[in-house]
Every structure is written in C-alpha cells, then in structure tokens.
Amino acid sequence: MTGVQTCALPICFPVTIAKKKEADDKRKAAAEAREAKKNGTVPASDKSTDKPAGETAKTVSDSTATANPNSKEAKAAARAKLIEDRKKALEDKKKKILEDREAAKKAKEDKKTETKTE
C-alpha cells in the first residue's frame, strides 16, 4: 500500500478538523495572553461582555500586584529553599558521622592504651 488516495472521499474527518480548530484557538489565546502580559494590558479574549454583573476582567498588572504562591517565581524560590535546606541537613549529617567516627576511633585508641598499661 502506498498511502495514495484512490477515491474522492475526504481523508480528514470533521472531528479532526474541529480538534485542530480548538487547538488553534487555544494557541491563539495563549499567544494573545503572552503579548498582553508583555504589554501590561488585558488580552482580547478576556474583554468579553458576557461576564456576570460585578465581575470585571483583571489586568496583568492587577494579578502581579498580589503575591501569588503558585507563580513560577514563588515555586522556584520554594524549590531553591528546599534544596538549600536539604544540603544543610546533609552537611550536618555528614559532620555528625565524621564526629562519631572520630569519637569511636579515639575510644578504640584509648582502649588499646589501657590494655597496654595493664
């Protein structure tokens, strides 16, 4: 089979076309949001007039004015702190192990000297 269409039936189906359109719409909305964030404005997709009474579209500057614990910066800072805490804990553990080894070594040497003096 060569993959060449041999009849007049369409190769792509309406469902595939609908999914592609939906994906294109999502990409377009994401591109608009990125551009709006860069310019500090409200994306066109958020300016719809069919919002309930009292609900207004937030601008990008409004959303960045409040600290968002789920933002990339906050998550990166939390990860960095976690890594630093783990490094510190490992360093403390290593230091304790070395101190315990030294104490065991000293105790062994003291025991040897005690047996020699007896």
pLDDT in tens, the chain (118 residues): 566 666 666 665 666 777 788 888 888 888 888 888 887 776 555 555 444 444 444 444 444 444 676 788 888 889 999 999 999 999 999 999 999 999 999 999 988 888 777 6
With residues binned 3-state (H G I as helix, E B as strand, rest as coil), the percentages for the chain, rounded to 5, are: 70, 0, 30
Q: Are residues 61 and 74 in contact, defined by beta-carbon separation less than 8 angstroms?
A: no
Which DSSP state fits 55? -
Distances (CA, A) of 31 to 35, 65, 90: 6, 22, 44
> Locate tokens 């990409």: which residue?
27
Instruction: Find out whether 47 and 57 touch, Cβ atoms under 8 Å.
Output: yes
Q: What's residue 98's pLDDT?
A: 95
The token duo for 7 is 């009849």
Which residue is associated with the tokens 């377009």? 28
Q: pTM (2 decimals)? A: 0.37
